[in-house]
């Protein structure tokens, strides 16, 4: 190995933390040509979890480290949101002993195609943030994860609205009902801002319906009169009962508040 290449290998050890990974574009921008990358892979100094991606051989590749790599090294605006963000913040009763299986990601740009090809047991579901919110990148927090680096996730308040957007086709009323019952310490100020920013009439109506159902105290501090709740009925459940206040259909068998 030439002295120059040895120096670049030392540089790689400083700029690419163990356990994280990068793509070919990152390697090119940092001066690692295709031939040099091939040399590193052949020598065992780099491994390729999927075609066009690279990591140092030490450190297990986990979905958390994949997301951190996207956020910290690859400049992606993807965050973990919806049910996954609520699970990570301790608000779900339905995380199996084996961990999460589907990771919900929100961002303005779809993730790279190699994300689905990584050797992980988890799968990723992408949502375009700008479909639900006018300001697609607001209300985010950093959450300590199983890796050594914090991961950007939706706040509990934002994750709740993202979850409600999944009703009724990809989430059940029963599970959402159980989850909302435990959300007793939400920030009214943050909720007010998010609801004003939310584009979905369905989500806003569902939010107030669930909040009233569980009589959450923070609801009294939200000015619903300033929010656009639209007009007309929203038929969410075929054969369901119509709530006369919010004009949404809900399941007949949802029962009394828990």
Q: What is the pLDDT of residue 98?
A: 47
Q: What is the pLDDT of residue 149?
A: 87
Q: What is the pLDDT of residue 5?
A: 60
Q: What is the pLDDT of residue 136?
A: 75
Q: What is the pLDDT of residue 144?
A: 86
For residue 171, what are the CA distances in angstroms to 22, 33, 217? 33, 46, 25
**Nearest Cα to 171, choosing from 66, 87, 76?**
87
Q: What values do phi and psi take at 65, rounded to 5?
A: -70, -30
pLDDT tens-digit series, residues 162-184: 999 999 999 999 999 999 999 99
Is residue 140 within 8 Å of 107, Cβ to Cβ? Answer: no
Q: Residue 131, Cα to own-chain centre: how many angstroms?
A: 14
pLDDT lower than 70: segments of the chain: 1-6, 93-99, 145-147, 255-258
For residue 55, what are the CA distances in angstroms to 4, 75, 151, 163? 21, 17, 19, 33
Q: What is the pLDDT of residue 95?
A: 47
**Nearest Cα to 248, choosing from 128, 107, 237, 35?**
237
Q: What is the pLDDT of residue 133?
A: 96
């Amino acid at each position: 190995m030439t002295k120059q290449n040895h120096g670049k290998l030392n540089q790689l050890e400083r700029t690419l933390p163990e356990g994280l990974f990068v793509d070919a574009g990152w390697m090119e921008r940092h001066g690692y040509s295709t031939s040099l990358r091939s040399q590193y892979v052949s020598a065992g100094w780099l491994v390729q979890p999927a075609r066009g991606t690279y990591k140092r051989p030490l450190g297990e590749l986990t979905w958390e480290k994949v997301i951190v790599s996207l956020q910290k090294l690859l400049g992606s605006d993807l965050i973990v949101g919806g049910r996954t963000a609520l699970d990570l913040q301790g608000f779900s009763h339905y995380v199996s002993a084996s961990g999460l299986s589907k990771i919900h990601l929100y961002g303005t740009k779809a993730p790279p195609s190699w994300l689905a090809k990584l050797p992980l047991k988890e799968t990723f579901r992408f949502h375009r943030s700008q479909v639900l919110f006018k300001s697609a990148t607001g209300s985010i927090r950093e959450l300590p994860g199983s890796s050594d680096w914090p991961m950007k996730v939706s706040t509990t308040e934002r994750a709740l609205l993202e979850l409600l957007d999944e009703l009724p086709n990809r989430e059940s009323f029963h599970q959402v009902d159980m989850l909302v019952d435990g959300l007793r310490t939400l920030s009214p100020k943050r909720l007010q801002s998010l609801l004003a920013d939310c584009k979905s009439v369905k989500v806003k109506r569902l939010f107030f319906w669930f909040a009233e159902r569980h009589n959450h105290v923070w609801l009294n501090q939200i000015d619903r009169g300033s929010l656009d709740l639209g007009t007309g009925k929203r038929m969410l459940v075929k054969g369901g009962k119509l709530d006369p206040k919010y004009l949404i259909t809900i399941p007949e068998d949802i029962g009394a508040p828990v």
